[in-house]
Amino acid sequence: MELLKKLFKRSSTSAAPVSLAWVNALKGMDDISAIEFSTQKISEDFKKNIFQYKSNLTALFSVDENTHIIVERITTHFINIENMNIELEERISNALCLYHRQLFITYFALIEHFSQDHQACLHVLLARAFRNATQMIKWRYYNYQSSPANVWLQLSELYKVAEQQSLLNAKIQSYSDLEPISLSSAYIHACMLGTLESLSLKCQQIELVSQLLMAWTTKINVDSIYDEKQHLFYVDTASNKPACRVRNFKPASTYRYWDFDSVNSKIELCMSLIEFNISPKQPLMKEFVINKHASSTFEILHAEWSRVDYKRQRRVDDRSKTKVPVSVAYGYQDVCEQIQQYENIKSQRGEKAYQGDKSLDERLAMHSLVKGEPNIIYMDLSSDHATMVDECKKGLGLNVNKHAGEVSLGMMVGVSNKEQRYSTKVGIIRNIKPIANNELHIGVELLSNIAYCAEAENTNLKSSKATLSSDNFNNTDNYFAQTSFGDMSDFMNTSFGNDSSNFICLYLPKEQSLSQQETLIIPKLQYNKNDIFKVNILGEAILIRFIKSYEHHGNWVRVTFTSDISSKPVSGSQTRLPATA
């Protein structure tokens, strides 16, 4: 802020208007280079303090309008291409985030110091400042970074200017390809995105949330007087914070409030449409519902924004600091392979697998190594190396040398280290944050400290010899049309094999600190509660039925099971799986 004050201390006659001749050079550049060059030149002209002049401000509006088209094109490609080259991804992220930041700083400074001189276009300055701030925030979130410094306080300053000028409810078109929206809606849009900062959403999910906020907040007003029955969220315009949920609340003159029930009702409607596979007639609603990230995103929004079902997330146990080298496998298939290889090595050495509820130390004490024998149990099984930096009974934190696009919320990980080489901890990524040295810190919720591989087969399929292969996957009469899931082609492309009646799953025994019942993690395509499965658990073959699923991500689902196969499940009992992050 001090820099802005120094820049604008000069007299309005201290510099003559200059042209933006550099704009002509953009025509021969590729899109990314054009944005990088524009950012550099706008920054240079901003430091010369030339945009206070009407002619130069008009030129800036024109440049911004034209480069906006390029920016939107790059952004669309970035969001829709999931396997982008890492160097290109980083270049795009830096270029567009800095571009939006420079425009926001420029418009913010003009509003703060020259609003009286630009009354005729103040509404456009405000609309573009809000728009570029929101885009800048989104680009930070795309890369699991926190909001820019002081951005919430600066947005509140803009809001107060709009409030004083009676511009809050005026419909303003910031760019020619965008629908006109009110400044109050733009403020709510940015502040509600801020409530999701700690959730580490994918860029596709962030974009979906942004689109629905733009569409569904158009009729929401920002109020200065608190109504307990209506208002669910508020912003303290005197603090550097995004929207907050009303809780343990005492109103203040600096607070602004809004009713969010209309958005929550639309979220619940979309969840129902997805659950019952109903296609809405409204084009925009249909676009939201068919988005492949819709189910998981709406579940998250419902959990975070709902008036009645909200549960504040708190860590149950404090994590203790540590620094332990570990090997990490990512994804269901790699975790299974890691555990299976460890078990094969132990089997070759004649070691017992599982000693019931005995502690890890007690189990280790039952084994002995020949003195001088090389440690062949702990070896690199094509896993990535990482550092465990904190842990508690229910979770752990890892510093990993991974790019943000290589991991995702809900991804399964298997963690093993030299000291605990007889077991692989299995968990789910719940949080992703960038740290120094181009590493990520990932927070992992543990599912089990001692997971085991189990061979399984669907006896119904085996008896009928109904084996599915990749070649006839599109056969509408096949077995998987009866499961709780539709397209399983992603899983069929893995190396787990094409025989649908046989598969590998993970057995998670009861553990006092983590689970009160034993469960299985199975391929998602195998989740069928009508069939009987034979599973070899710790050397014992048993017949089971799946009872209930309560966690899933990608190509796996965690289920409870019973060995009581005498009773048939209730017809139509296959329920929609609850979405997870």
- Mean pLDDT of all residues in 467-476: 46
Long-range contacts of 124-127 (CB under 8 A, 24+ apart): 124/61, 124/172, 124/174, 126/158, 126/161, 126/162, 126/167, 126/172, 126/183, 127/172, 127/173, 127/174, 127/181, 127/183, 127/186
- Determine the pLDDT at residue 65: 95
Tallying the residues shown for the chain, one arrives at 581
Under a CB-based contact definition with an 8 Å cutoff, are residues 223 and 257 in contact?
yes
Q: What is the residue whose two structure tokens read 């596979």?
A: 277
3-state class of 508 per DSSP?
strand
Distance CA(34)–CA(311), nearest Å, equals 46
Query: What is the band of 470 on the pLDDT scale with cuts at 50, 70, 90?
Result: very low
Distance CA(458)–CA(541), nearest Å, equals 13
- Mean pLDDT of all residues in 13-39: 79
Structure tokens at 75: 């952004």
Closest Cα partner for 500 from 448, 456, 449? 456
- H-only helix segments in 247-320: 261-275, 283-290, 294-305
**Per-residue model confidence as pLDDT tens digits over 520-532:** 999 988 888 888 9
- H-only helix segments in 349-398: 360-365
Under a CB-based contact definition with an 8 Å cutoff, are residues 437 and 448 in contact?
no
**Per-residue model confidence as pLDDT tens digits over 159-213:** 999 999 999 999 999 999 999 999 999 999 999 999 999 888 999 999 999 999 9
Q: DSSP character for 341?
A: H
Structure tokens at 308: 């009645």
Dihedral (CA of 515, 516, 518, 523) sign: negative
Domain segments of the chain as ranges: 1-117, 145-313, 320-448, 452-562
What average pLDDT does the structure give for the chain?
Answer: 83
Beta-carbon contacts of 540 under 8 Å, excluding residues fewer than 6 positions away, are none
DSSP assignment of 68-129 equals: HHHHHHHHHHHHH-SS--HHHHHHHHHHHHHHHHHHHHHHHHHHHHHTTTTGGGHHHHHHHH
Distance CA(557)–CA(525), nearest Å, equals 9
Beta-carbon contacts of 229 under 8 Å, excluding residues fewer than 6 positions away, are none
Tally of CA atoms within 13 A in the half-sphere of 75 that contains its CB = 20
Residue 382 has pLDDT above 80, yes or no: no
- Determine the pLDDT at residue 214: 96
Q: Which CATH architecture has domain 320-448?
A: Beta Barrel (2.40)
Tally of CA atoms within 13 A in the half-sphere of 68 that contains its CB = 17
In degrees, to the nearest 5, what angle opens at C-alpha 557 toward C-alphas 357 and 315?
65
Q: What angle separates helix 283-290 from helix 261-275, to the nearest 10 degrees?
A: 60
Structure tokens at 509: 């025994």
Q: If you average pLDDT over each of 107-116, 316-325, 462-471, which comes out highest?
A: 107-116
- Determine the pLDDT at residue 431: 87
Structure tokens at 516: 């009160």
- Mean pLDDT of all residues in 469-494: 45
Closest Cα partner for 555 from 526, 532, 578, 534? 526
Closest Cα partner for 214 from 176, 244, 246, 173? 173
Residue 400 has pLDDT above 80, yes or no: yes
- Determine the pLDDT at residue 469: 46
Dihedral (CA of 124, 130, 134, 139) sign: positive
- Mean pLDDT of all residues in 375-394: 70
Please give, one letter per residue, the 3-state secondary structure of 534-546.
EEEECCEEEEEEE
Phi, psi at 579, each rounded to 5°: -75, 145
Structure tokens at 537: 């658990």
Query: In terms of pTM, does the model score above 0.85?
Result: no
CA distances from 290 to 144, 295, 298, 385, 580 (A): 25, 9, 12, 38, 17
**Per-residue model confidence as pLDDT tens digits over 504-550:** 999 999 988 888 889 999 998 888 888 899 999 888 999 999 988 87
- Mean pLDDT of all residues in 361-384: 45
- H-only helix segments in 143-282: 151-164, 183-194, 203-216, 261-275
Q: DSSP character for 223?
A: B
Q: What is the residue whose two structure tokens read 């009110």?
A: 182
Under a CB-based contact definition with an 8 Å cutoff, are residues 427 and 396 in contact?
yes
Tally of CA atoms within 13 A in the half-sphere of 492 that contains its CB = 18
- Determine the pLDDT at residue 364: 42
Structure tokens at 45: 């002209």
Structure tokens at 345: 């090595």
Residue 475 has pLDDT above 80, yes or no: no
Distance CA(389)–CA(433), nearest Å, equals 14
Report, in angstroms and rounded to the nearest whole number, the Rg of the chain calculated over CA atoms.
28
Q: What is the residue whose two structure tokens read 């703060």?
A: 112
In degrees, to the nearest 5, what angle opens at C-alpha 334 toward C-alphas 328 and 335?
65
- Determine the pLDDT at residue 344: 78
Distance CA(576)–CA(277), nearest Å, equals 11
Which helix (H) or strand (E) covers residue 490, if one does? helix 489-492
Residue 358 has pLDDT above 70, yes or no: no
